[in-house]
């Protein structure tokens, strides 16, 4: 089964909705796939644009010490979330991990930008040790931080 980017977007949106975020889809997709909002404990309303870039390995995918998104980003924003759902060759229908990455972790690259918070070994993506805080439930929880736009791998 070939998994589409639209499925990845909806899966990520569903996970965020389950965590209490409100999801807003644009009439025209011109960069950001959707926007999320949530009122946090101190009463602040957080708004974050989200761009989803799925990773879909095949059985021929080789091991990688760093693995993630390398390519163009049509839009960037200080409060944005680059969501990278990682599928595996063994589980192509559902992501095994999702990274929720802040702009500070996205670097310029000759092909556009790069953000590689995972590794890939023996057919499975896995969060890199220093990036685990951005993955899955921990990553979703971090989205509520008022200092999200300054978060980095080392912070």
Domain ranges of the chain: 5-150
| Coil vs helix vs strand at 96 | coil
Summarize pLDDT for 93-110 with one digit per residue, the tens: 899 999 999 999 999 999
Q: Tell me how far apart the alpha carbons of residues 94 and 51 are, in angstroms, rounded to a whole number.
A: 18
User: 2 pLDDT exceeds 90?
Assistant: no
CATH of domain 5-150: 3.40.1350
Closest CA to 131 of 110, 151, 147, 107: 151
pTM of the predicted model as reported, rounded to 2 decimal places: 0.94
pLDDT at 1 over 50: no
């Amino acid at each position: 089964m070939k998994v589409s980017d639209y499925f990845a977007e909806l899966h990520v949106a569903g996970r965020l909705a389950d965590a209490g975020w409100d999801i807003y889809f644009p009439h025209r997709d011109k960069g950001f796939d959707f926007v999320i909002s949530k009122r946090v404990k101190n009463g602040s309303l957080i708004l974050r644009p989200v761009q989803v870039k799925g990773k879909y390995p095949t059985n021929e995918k080789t091991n990688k010490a760093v693995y993630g998104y390398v390519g163009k980003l049509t839009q960037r924003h200080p409060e944005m979330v680059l969501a990278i759902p990682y599928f595996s060759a063994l589980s192509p229908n559902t992501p095994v991990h999702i990274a929720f990455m802040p702009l500070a972790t996205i670097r310029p690259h000759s092909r556009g930008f790069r953000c590689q918070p995972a590794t890939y070994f023996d057919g499975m993506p896995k969060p890199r040790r220093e990036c685990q805080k951005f993955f899955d439930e921990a990553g979703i929880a971090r989205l509520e931080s008022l200092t999200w736009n300054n978060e980095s791998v080392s912070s």
